[in-house]
Structure 1
Amino acid sequence: MLQYSLRRLLIGAGMLLALSMLIFVMLRLTPGDPIDAYIDPNVPMSPSDLVELRDTLGLDAPLPVQYLAWLQQAVMGNLGYSIKRPDQPVLSLVFSRIGPTVLLMGSAIVISIIAGIASGMISAVRRNSVVDLSFSLFAVTGISSPPFLSALVGLYLFSVYFDWLPSGGMLTPGRDFSIADLLHHLILPAALLAVAQTALIMRYMRSSMLEVLNQDYVRTARAKGVYEFWVITKHALRNALLPVVTLIGSTIGLAIGGAIFIESVFNWPGMGLLMVDAVENRDYPVIMGSTLVIGACVIFVNILTDLAYAVIDPRIKVG
């Protein structure tokens, strides 16, 4: 297990390095000159001042040299400073936004796992029933709806039309912090972020559960008179979970993509909103730093997902 974990960490480090190279090159290929982001349009600058500024920032060096210089600082924990907020290190900005994003994504993932597994089990046990058809309709709708559409529809229905939940923010302005107020603001964006993941997990769980329910050991358990609840939960569920665990690990990336839209719509002060602001302002250091941290988190979660296989199914051996 230790050797496998170390090998997966090395592979993850290589993937993170490749991701940083890809983002660095893509940002440099975007239209416009990176130096424009550092210049105040209201302050005139002479050509010699531009040359000096470009030399100071290292933008006159070849692209590989610029990347290696940035990578050397990133390995030491220095991701640079924000262009629009020069007094703010990128790492501090990222860390200040990680908490709200982890809270939002963690809540959405917990909702999607519980709701997806439960509805998938019920749908498989009640195959071709009205309940099964209702869950299937929800799954098709959830998978087909992009996150920004779900966010806008949910915002209109629950915040504007019914006025049940807040339309944005993480806390009520001017009110003392309370868990109840935080949960009141969290429930809608977390539930909307969980829609697509819940639909995917439900479909996988239903398919896997149907396959397991047709196995000989399940029929044997029923023939021995084992109570149906224990047949489903003890004999069938654990074996049906393995492919679902794979999906749960892969939905982390889907949740990050959805969080960018959800945080923008609900003005949630997390990593997604930070990245949107950075892209709008062409804040290259913040874009690079945010992407690197998010990529590291996704890779780490995928490694944990791989290691979870052996815990769920002892028949699997890592090597």
Structure 2
Amino acid sequence: MLGFYLKRLAAGLMMLIALSIMVFVLLRLAPGDPIDAYLNPLAPLSQVEMDALRQRLGLDQPWPVQYLAWLRAALGGDLGYSIDRAGVRVLPLLMERTGPTLLLMLTGLAMAIVLGIAAGVVGAVKRNSAIDVGLGVLAFLVISTPAFLKALLGLYVFAVVLRWAPSGGMLTPGAPFSLTDLLAHLTLPASLLALVYSALFMRYMRSSMIEVLNQDYLRTARAKGVGEFAVIVRHALRNAILPVITLIGSTIGIAIGGAIFIESVFDWPGMGLLMVKAVETRDYPVIMGATLLIGVGVILVNLLTDLAYAVVDPRIQVS
């Protein structure tokens, strides 16, 4: 097992390097000159001053040299300084925004896992019933609706029309911190983030559960007098949940994209909102640093998914 995880970790590191190269090249291929992000339009510089600034920033060097310089500094924990926020280091800025994003994502995914698995089990047990059909139609509608549209509709209905939740932010400005205030701001964006993933988990769980419910060992358990609830929860659920674990692990990366929409609509002070503003201001160091940090998170989640497989089903062996 240790050898397997070391191999996966090495592969993850190679993927991180490939990802950083791709983002670096795409940023350089974007329209405009990277030096424009460093200039103040109200205080134009002469060509000599621009050339001196380009040389000081290393932008006069070939792309491979620029990338290797960034990679060497990144390996040492230095992601540079933000362009949009003068004098602010990128790494502390990302760490400051990671907490709110993790809070939003983990809350949304936890809600999605509980709702999705429960709805999938109910749909499989009540197969082809009105409940199963209703859940299937609801899941189809949720999955087919774009993330930004769900966010805007949720904001309008629950925050503007019904006034059940705040319209944005993480805390009420000027008010002392309280857990109640935090939960009031968190509930709506986390619920909207959970919608699409709970529908995905439900469909996978239902399909897997139907397959498991037809297995011979469950008929044997029932014949021995085991109650139906124990048959479903103790025997069927543990085997049916394995494909869903894989889906949960692969969903983390997708959830980051969903969080970007949610954070932008609700002005949630997390990584997604930071990346949107970094793209608008061409803040290259923040974009590169955020991409690297997100990549590390996705790789760690995939490793934890493999570990969860072995915990849920001890029969699984890694050769």
Q: What TM-score comes out, normalization by structure 1 length?
A: 0.99
Give the alignment of 1:10-29 within 5 angstroms. Answer: 10-29=10-29
Q: CA deviation at 1:43?
A: 1.0
1:83 correspondence with 2:83: yes
Q: Distance in 2 between matches of 1:244 and 1:46?
A: 59
Q: CA deviation at 1:133?
A: 0.9
**Aligned residue in 2 for 1:164:** 164
**Aligned residue in 2 for 1:107:** 107
**Aligned residue in 1 for 2:188:** 188
Q: Structure 1: which 5+ residue stretches go unaligned?
A: none
**Aligned residue in 1 for 2:200:** 200
**Aligned residue in 2 for 1:240:** 240
**Aligned residue in 2 for 1:126:** 126
1:211 correspondence with 2:194: no
- Structure 1 residue matching 2:69: 3-state secondary structure: helix
Q: Which runs of 4+ in 1 moved over 6 A?
A: none
- Counterpart amino acid of residue 54 in structure 2: R
Q: Distance in 1 between matches of 2:285 and 2:220?
A: 61
Q: CA deviation at 1:44?
A: 2.2
Q: Distance in 2 between matches of 1:98 and 1:238?
A: 33
- Counterpart amino acid of residue 79 in structure 1: L
Q: Distance in 2 between matches of 1:302 and 1:145?
A: 27
Give the alignment of 1:275-314 within 5 angstroms. Answer: 275-314=275-314
Q: What do residues 79-131 of structure 1 show as CA deviations (whole Å, max 9, x unaligned)?
A: 00000112100001100000000000000010001000000000000001111
**Aligned residue in 2 for 1:4:** 4
- Counterpart amino acid of residue 318 in structure 1: V
**Aligned residue in 1 for 2:152:** 152
Q: What do residues 127-154 of structure 1 show as CA deviations (whole Å, max 9, x unaligned)?
A: 0111111110121112111211110010
1:264 correspondence with 2:264: yes
- Counterpart amino acid of residue 291 in structure 1: T
Bigger mean CA offset, 219-228 vs 185-194 = 219-228
**Aligned residue in 1 for 2:42:** 42
- Counterpart amino acid of residue 106 in structure 1: L
- Counterpart amino acid of residue 146 in structure 2: P
Q: What do residues 248-287 of structure 1 show as CA deviations (whole Å, max 9, x unaligned)?
A: 0011011100000000000000000000000000100000
- Structure 1 residue matching 2:79: 3-state secondary structure: coil
Q: Distance in 2 between matches of 1:9 and 1:131?
A: 43
Q: Distance in 2 between matches of 1:201 and 1:254?
A: 14
Taking every aligned residue pair, what percent have the same amino acid on both sides? Answer: 65
- Counterpart amino acid of residue 277 in structure 1: K
- Counterpart amino acid of residue 100 in structure 2: P
Q: What TM-score comes out, normalization by structure 2 length?
A: 0.99
Give the alignment of 1:133-144 within 5 angstroms. Answer: 133-144=133-144
**Aligned residue in 2 for 1:64:** 64
Q: Distance in 1 between matches of 2:138 and 2:252?
A: 21
- Counterpart amino acid of residue 203 in structure 1: R
Q: CA deviation at 1:308?
A: 1.3
Equivalences, count? 319
**Aligned residue in 1 for 2:33:** 33
Q: What do residues 198-257 of structure 1 show as CA deviations (whole Å, max 9, x unaligned)?
A: 000000000000000000101111122210000000110000011010000011011100
Q: Distance in 2 between matches of 1:107 and 1:138?
A: 21
Q: CA deviation at 1:196?
A: 1.0
Q: Distance in 1 between matches of 2:20 and 2:276?
A: 18
